[in-house]
Amino acid sequence: MSFRKILMVSLLVFCVSGSTLFADWYSLNDSREKSNVQVNVLSSSNEEVTLEVTIPGFEIDHVKVPGKTCVMINIPGASWLMDKGFPVLPKLTSLVRVNDFGAAKIEVVSKEEVELDLHAAILPSKGHLTRDINPNDVPYEFGPVYDENIYYIDRQKQFQIGREFLLRDVRGVRLEVLPVRVNHVTMKMQVIKKAVIRITSEGVGAANMMSTSQTAPTAEFSELYSNAFVNYEAPIGTAANEKNKTLVVVTAAKYESLLGDWLEWKKARGYTVTVKTVDGESADEIKSFFQAQFDAKKFGYAVLVGDVDTVPTLKGKYERAYSDPCYMCLAGDDNYQDAYISRISGNTNEEITVQLDKIIRYEKSAKPGDWFSQGLTIASNEGSIKDYDRANWLINGGGKNQKQPVKAGGLKGAGFGKFFTQYAPNASKRGVAEAIHSGTGIICYIGHGSTTSWATSGFSTWDIKELNNGEMLPVIWSVACVNGKFQIRECFAEAWLRQPNGGAVAVEAASTNEAWVPPCDKQAATVNAYINNSHRTFGALEMAGRLCALEVWGDSDRSQGTQLAEQCNLFGDCTMEVHYPKKSQ
């Protein structure tokens, strides 16, 4: 077997700390061009799905670490296996729709593999570090596998599927392929060129079987499934313009009288609304109410009205994170949310009323002009792929070595005429405020955070209270630690929405510490859904990112994907239709 070796001129940067020296491209086919992994559906039926995975080549990146030079193997379109002390190896993932019944089984029909010399040790992973930890402070550890005459990964673990799950109307499994195996004693590596995989459903009694009384999904959710599953096809009977406009509201009793205008506006927008008041009910009792409503009419949206003291929340499995999304795990005993949920959080009548009025004005009579065709990105200068590089991908497209690249052209290609940028070390709270007062439709943050601030720029809840951007209200997607820790008196995310005559109209933020890498994939997937104009509501846009997180980073109880799905909360109205620049309308 001969391989074409192409020296890449530009330096590459990685999701690990270390100094990258240069990168070589190795082609596994007749083309010299670097290209992404291809996953093609050869056949799909109720009984079985056959997929072909083709790997056109890989990049070997040379990374200098203390005392030696290591290598990383990068396959475009792949993410990383990141187990502490073990080699960082490429990982391919897909969500696959399977039969409504039976146990899913995986079979490798055929596989083409090549063996090559390994000229340096594969860089070991430091594991998934949260953003309150500086990766440069964590030393590399070469675990025992580096001294064992075995191939890592074990061949039996190269092709795996997870436990069956239900995503509302669809039953699926998560497929994981580990295409590279390495032996650090013989200094050899084995790389898959092509594999054909068959997934079948057999027998009865498997996890999360679908009810026989299923109806065709609405168009909005069908679009979500098409983007999430590699083999989903909308069933005949899905109405082309049909939306699931069924909203369930759970409000603290003391705020019920404030909801009139907002509820009338939701009904005018076509929503069928059910309202439940709570006064001392537990989170488990609220979850039981949601379950009964979902079983009866499979609602699409839920909004909680009140702070966590009056409308309690659930705690996630991964780290006991305060998690409104856990209320929406309704269709099975898995970690996939089956409807959209958000919280209008407040402790006083004024705090609730301010937010309801903002939502109505934003949807009904937003200030005319080009303000929502302007954006703001704020990012740190930390990370081996610098946070400001990831932010620039959101603006312009791209994603070097990021599993979820941003669609070519980025947000600018989708119609944003101008982006303000505030990047460390030059970011300032004044710069952030000036951009917001100039008008921004969207704000994306990537960096360190606290319960009351963005560390990059130092912009805090006290600065939010000085904003007077009127009806030029942005939607915010924040990759940061604890910006959404709403179990405290007032967190950063809540402050944005509670600010009268300014602030923001919707915020996505985490209630616990976020990791360095996975949240950026989630944010990129949400931005792609925005760029593609595939979803309009705040809830659906965020769900696109959530499903990407579960696919790429795992859906088991102890996976990074589940951590993200549980820790990321939405503040505002998940039914709210996000403004798009003029080009996209």
Instruction: Read off the pLDDT of residues 198-210 as tens digits, 9 standing for 90 and up.
Output: 999 887 767 888 8
Comparing C-alpha atoms, which of 510, 449, 515 is closest to residue 128? 515
**What is the token pair recorded at 111?**
């596989």
Give the range with max mean pLDDT: 125-129, 173-177, 214-218, 397-401: 173-177
User: Which of 23-37, 121-135, 374-388, 511-525 has the least mean pLDDT?
Assistant: 23-37
HSE-up of 363 (CA within 13 Å, CB side)? 21
Q: What is the CATH T-level fold of the domain 370-577, as seen in this structure?
A: Rossmann fold (3.40.50)
Cα 188 to chain centroid distance, Å, stands at: 35
Q: What is the pLDDT of residues 267-303, one digit of tens each?
A: 999 999 999 999 999 999 999 999 999 999 999 999 9
- Mapped onto helix, strand or coil, the DSSP state of residue 3 is coil
CA 523-308-324 angle, to 5 degrees, is 40
- Per-chain mean pLDDT for the chain: 91
Rounded average pLDDT over 219-234: 91
Confidence of residue 323 (pLDDT cuts 50, 70, 90): very high
Span 427-456, average pLDDT: 97
Please report, as a single letter, which amino acid is at residue 126.
Answer: K
Is it the case that residue 6 has pLDDT exceeding 60?
Answer: no
pLDDT for position 369: 84
Provide the whole-model pTM: 0.92
Mean pLDDT of 348-368: 94
For position 8, what pLDDT does the model report?
29
Among 88, 90, 73, smallest CA distance to 16 is for 88
What does the pLDDT average to over 175-188? 97
The domains of the chain are located at 5-209, 252-332, 370-577
Q: Above 80 in pLDDT, residue 467? A: yes
Top-level CATH class of 5-209?
mainly beta
**Residues whose CB falls within 8 Å of the CB of residue 67, separated by 6 or more in sequence, listed in order:** none
Residue 236 confidence (pLDDT) above 70: no
Percent of the chain with pLDDT over 70: 93
pLDDT of residue 67: 84
H helices of 139-256, in order, are 219-228
Query: Does 3 have pLDDT greater than 90?
Result: no
- Report the pLDDT value the prediction gives residue 1, as an integer from 0 to 100: 34
Decide if pLDDT at 313 tops 80: yes
